[in-house]
Structure 1
Amino acid sequence: MLPYGISDFRDVKLNNYYYIDKTHFIPKIELYGRYLYLIRPRRFGKSLFLNMLALYYDIFYKDEFEDVFYDCYIFKNQTKEASSYHILKFDFSAISTKGDIDKNFSDYCNSDIKKFITKYKLNTSIDENITAHKNLKNLFDFAQQNSISIYIMIDEYDNFINNLLMHSQTDYQKLVSSKDEAIYKEFFKLLKAGTSDNSSALKKMFITGVSPLAMYDVTSGSNIGTNITNEYAFNSAVGVTKDELQKLLNHYKIDSKLDIDDWYNNYKFNRDIKESIYNTDMILYYLKSLYLTNRPPDNMVDLNVRTDYSKLRYLVYTDNKLNGNFSLLQELFGNGYITTLELKDSFSAFELKKTSNFVSLLYYLGLVTIDKYYRGEYYLKIPNQTIKRIMGEYIQTALEESDIFDIDLSKFKKSMQEFAYDGSLNVFTYLANEIKERSKVRDYTSGESFVKGFLIAYLGLSPYYGVLSEVERNKGFVDILLKKAPNIDDDIFEGLIELKYISRNKFTQDELDKQVIQAKKQLVQYNPEGFEIGVVVVFNGWEMVYCKIFSK
């Protein structure tokens, strides 16, 4: 069985779910230090990985070790630390941000501490009338006196606090940086103290999350452990490699010639890595449908992968107006990449208006990934069509909420259907007319890259296509390629779009003719065939002045 949506490692192994063996990372983890944290995008397999570590190190499950790990790498390569710790595990995604947040956090942690005491039958108790960090301090003291070695694991350490940040920076600030006794901050202060005390009962710690924001703010920028996020050795600790995918396909006898790399692949978490990895959830979502129904899912984008627009909304607004961060997203769509001199592994949530911090956050959230490292600079791109569609929706919603560009999406999608099945160019005419009618949007469609980015973002909202840019074809590069999505069975038209741009002050009929001729020459080079349509589109500033199908 495919473990789609299942993160309980013991359940996966004992109930015969397919498991992609990641236990060979255990010796590497021990080499890198006792206190570690790993940042990865949502739905990448972090929870399953952490639960695997928990079962491996947990003295409580020592008698089940062979039943669980018998077919894993680590079974024949056990380390000395196997089955030797008392595991205290927290999952902060379970904490509610409604009501009294301090109380919610403390009640949740106290409950897990109480379960820990019960599980190991320890001769101590908790005081439910005091805060969690005080109970944890008492537990540490008890464990130290009784020579008990504790391994703390925190999954989604920043989940609830990131949700809080998106809705109220004031509440977030109170929790992480208040001069008063902020319980979340005090909790991490205690953990940090435990990591620096040689006699502490806290012997090891492993933390996962989706960004370094809360870790920076709650520790005032000081390290609580070693960040292994961008280490070469751990690039594929979670996620799926090509080899792992091939073994999975062979196991289920699924045709290995799947055209899904554009949709689910291309993540890199180190600049020297050559082979990219797939998002775990995306792959299992797609394969589950193939296995159960013998066809791809109706929607190529799994709803579970989406990050709510509200979680990015506050990043692109200043004083209720779209800011420079939004322009950066447009640049990303238009140029196909953005650059930064560094990927910062530590920065505050209060400094996200800084471009370098915003770019780094996009990277940690999985909205961009490393394309290359050249001349001391990172080139970052949108990893795949799934993320491109999600980010296109961000842009569309932001423009709509700002009363800048609000189109009838049902009409737009209908025009995309007409292109797909009839080869109609109404979709370009419709978008161009809407731009012409809405003067506010013109400030966001000036310049060739912004026009291109605008088109890519909106064309990507269609369920029929993946939208690729600068695709190499016969020693040339197609501006925009509308490539049929893998879940579309019908024979539909695909588009090779050559986009030309003439600034408002340089337009003449001769210049237009020149640009059209050049575009046609490029389409001859690309050689559209079969159901492929070559399309020449020319914009004069924000106004489309030419749009025709290319005929050989």
Structure 2
Amino acid sequence: MIGLNRELPIGIQTFEKLRKEGYLYVDKTGLVWKIASSSTPYFLSRPRRFGKSLLLSTFEAYFEGKKELFKGLAIEELEKEWNTYPVLHLDLNARKYTTAADLVAMLNQYLEKWELLYGNEKQDRSPEERFAYVIERASILTGRNVVVLIDEYDKPLLQAMQNETLLEEYRVILKAFYGVLKSADRYLRFAFLTGVTKFAQVSVFSDLNQLQDISLWYDYATVCGITKEELVSTFRPELEVLGKVNGFTYEETVDEMTRLYDGYHFHPAGEGVFNPFSVLNALKAKEFNDYWFQTGTPTFLVELLKESDYDLRTLIDGVEASSAAFTEYRAEACNPIPLIYQSGYLTIKEYDKEFKVYRLGFPNDEVKYGFMNFILPFYTPIPDGERRFYIGKFIKELREGDIPAFLTRLKSFFADFSYELNEEKERYYQVIFYLVFKLMGQFTEAEVRSARGRADAVVKTQKYIYVFEFKLNGTAEQALEQIDDKGYLIPYLADGREIVKVGVEFSAEKRNISRWLVE
């Protein structure tokens, strides 16, 4: 069993290659057929590495009539005609765009390829004029309307987000280019665009009001990603090997996969899906790790959070947003939530139908702890790459009952700060305490106060239950007194473990922990 060697499609984005070379495939062709049965132009937003490119490649093979590739799949029973259409497939994901010339060069590369097939009489015109001509000629020459597939339509825009001038140049180019899809509608059989974001406010879609955004549709909530049923039915042998290597039962393996990689919801009532990139890599490496998070660092998002002075505690505990607030991208520091959601770091948890408000939260532990580990160096002076080392030390010290070592280490998080501690900056320090205790939840049961009537933090190890109270402009004695007076210990009295009270005072003058008392 350990020698199991079925082919997992990591990095395979071409449907034809996947099928011809015998890679495992999670069958989404039933949904492909359902979408393709309409001539409506579609848009789908999903996070990076969620299978958007493979989905478009599947559409390409279907519309090119490659029936043999679909043998044994759901679509084989649904499709009866297998007509062939001219397909124009544009992939903007394969290049780094640093100037407008880079974007035009990429468009020209595809236009030249299409013009070889359908005519180059307009080759000296603008990209949008050439695109319109190619669509018209392809339809006339083949006698069938054209299929247009555009993968990662927003890649240039995302790369220029911190450069307003360049962003505007890209916007002008792409608005004109994508606008062709409306004027050429009579020549189109089908159009499908994918991306991470919906750039509503930069008017890229203003001329595409016929585009149907299915990103939050119930019917297509699982078109990208892997459902739990698909996971266990497609990958059971690999799951069994993963469990055996890591000392888990099959059921424990599925539970661990669920905790780490499941939890994405693209409709409040829709079925949740696993991150396909993380699933495939965990099965291939036979190890649980942060695969998706490691492939892209959300530096810009963290800078946006800091610029907005957004309270990270609210984000980590779950945030509310109206539908418009997070489905349409806004490049505003005062509201970083839309981009964080669309980038895949938050997902839908609940929906209030009465007030039309969504509650968003981290989809799973890979994203939750990956995000918090990543942002910690932005708020503390610890070296990048030593985050887990520090948190691991915290856990060991508490397991050993060494409170002085724990609090001395915590002091190091504040040692190099130059901020004056005032009312405006107080939350900054509170966030650091919050992050430390939240990150400890990876390894032990830790909770941080989110409501009145509870201690600031509680950490449970095998031997101890620690109840922490921190006092700014107060004393360690007052902190211990508050633990007693407010009854913070009551929920834990029947537990059986040793309860340890820790009162900590934080000095505004020193901008750090100054004293503590332990009982």
For the criterion TM > 0.5, the same-fold answer is yes
Pick from 419, 435, 438 the counterpart of residue 454 of structure 1: 435
Q: CA deviation at 1:72?
A: 0.7
Q: Secondary structure at the match of 1:281?
A: helix
Contact 1:216–1:222 at 8 Å: present in 2 too? no
Match of 1:71 in 2: 72
Distance 1:539 1:126 in 2: 77
3-state secondary structure, aligned to 2:419: helix
Q: Which residue pairs with 2:339 in the alignment?
A: 361
| Residue of structure 2 in register with 1:191 after alignment | 181
CA shift for structure 1 position 238: 0.6
What displacement does 1:513 show? 3.1
1:489-547 C-alpha deviation (Å, 9 max, x unpaired): xxxx7997655455646x6735523416844443445666xxxx977555556765658
Residue of structure 2 equivalent to 1:416: 391
Give the conservation status (yes or no) of the 8 Å contact 1:250–1:256.
no
Secondary structure of 2:49's counterpart equals coil
1:114-125 matches, cutoff 5 A? 114-118=112-116, 121-122=117-118, 124-125=119-120
Distance 2:157 2:274 in 1: 27
Q: CA deviation at 1:261?
A: 2.4
Residue 319 of structure 1 is matched in structure 2 by none
In 2, the alpha carbon distance for the partners of 1:539 and 1:441 equals: 20
1:237-256 alignment to 2 at 5 Å? 237-252=223-238, 254=240, 255-256=250-251
Q: Measured at CA, do residues 413 and 150 of structure 1 come closer, stay the same or move farther in structure 2, by a change above 3 Å?
A: closer
Matched, 1:227 2:227: no
Partner of 2:358: 378
* Preserved CA contact (<8 Å) 1:416 1:427: no
Q: Give the distance between the partners of 2:39 and 2:324, measured in 1 at CA.
A: 22
- C-alpha displacement at 1:44, in angstroms? 1.1
| One-letter amino acid of the counterpart of residue 212, structure 1 | K
Range 307-316 or range 258-267, more displaced: 307-316
Q: 414, 420, 423: which is aligned to 1:435?
A: 414
Describe the SS at the equivalent of 2:93. helix
Cα shift at 1:169: 1.6
Encode CA deviations 1:223-267: one digit per residue, 9 max, x unaligned.
350000001111111111111111133243613421232221111
CA contact (8 A) 1:27 1:79 kept: no
CA gap 1:30/1:243 in 2 versus in 1, 3 angstroms:
same
Residue of structure 2 equivalent to 1:9: 15
Cα distance, 1:495–1:74 mapped onto 2, change above 3 Å: farther
Q: Report the CA distance shift for 1:79/1:390 in structure 2 as closer, same or farther (over 3 A).
A: farther
- Relative to 1, partners in 2 of residues 1:313 and 1:450: Cα closer, same or farther, differing over 3 Å? closer
Aligned counterpart, 2:90? 90
SS in 2 for 1:94: coil
Q: TM-score, structure 2 length as denominator?
A: 0.80
Q: Which residue of 2 aligns with 1:329?
A: 312
Q: Which amino acid aligns with 1:194?
A: A
Aligned to 2:158: 162
| 1-structure distance, mates of 2:358, 2:387 | 36
Cα deviation for residue 163 of structure 1 reads: 0.7
Q: Does 1:280 align with 2:276?
A: yes
Q: Deviations over 1:269-301 (max 9, x none)?
A: 11223x4211110111111111xxxxx15xx11
The 2-side partners of 1:30 and 1:409 are apart by 47
CA offsets 1:120-179 (integer angstroms, 9 cap, x no match): x54x2365543322211211232344433111001111112211223x121102221xxx
Q: Residues 193, 447 of structure 1: CA spacing in aligned structure 2 closer, same or farther, 3 A cutoff?
A: same
Shift of 1:408: 4.3
Deviation, 1:38, is 0.4
Identity rate of aligned residues, in percent? Answer: 19
Q: Distance in 2 between matches of 1:480 and 1:40?
A: 37
Task: Return the letter of the residue paired with 1:509.
Answer: E
Partner of 1:130: 125
Q: In the TM superposition, what whole-angstrom CA distance separates every residue of 1:9-36 from its partner, at most 9, and x where no partner exists?
A: 1111111111000111124314665200
Measure, in 2, the Cα distance between the counterparts of 1:6 and 1:481: 44
CA distance in 1, matches of 2:83, 2:465: 58
d(CA) in 2 for partners of 1:89, 1:48: 12
Contact 2:263 2:363 in 1 (8 A): yes
Unaligned runs of 5+ in 1: 177-181, 291-295, 317-321, 400-404, 484-492
Equivalences, count? 483
* CA deviation map 1:422-444 (0-9, x unaligned): 63553443123533663528555
Post-superposition shift, 1:419?
A: 4.4
Q: What residue in structure 1 maps to residue 267 of structure 2?
A: 270
* SS in structure 2 at match of 1:37: strand
Secondary structure (helix, strand or coil) at the match of 2:161 reads helix
Q: 1:452 to 1:113 in 2, by over 3 A?
A: same
1:50 to 36, 49, 56: 56
Contact 2:373-2:388 within 8 A present in 1 as well: no
Aligned with residue 319 of structure 2, among 320, 331, 338? 338
Give the Cα–Cα distance (whole angstroms) in 2 for the partners of residues 411 and 367 of structure 1. 22
Q: Which amino acid aligns with 1:371?
A: K
Distance in 2 (CA, whole Å) between partners of 1:240 and 1:353 is: 33
8 Å CA contact retained: 1:428, 1:547? no
Q: Deviations over 1:361-415 (max 9, x none)?
A: 221111111121235332211122222233224533433xxxxx42346776544
Q: CA deviation at 1:41?
A: 0.7
Residue 142 of structure 1: aligned partner: 137
| Counterpart residue type for residue 87 of structure 2 | I
- Structure 1 residues 392, 253: CA separation in 2 closer, same or farther (over 3 Å shift)? closer
- Taking a change above 3 Å as real, the CA distance of residues 314 and 537 of structure 1, as seen in their structure-2 partners, is same
Mind listing any 5+ residue stretches in structure 2 that lack a counterpart? Answer: 1-6, 241-249
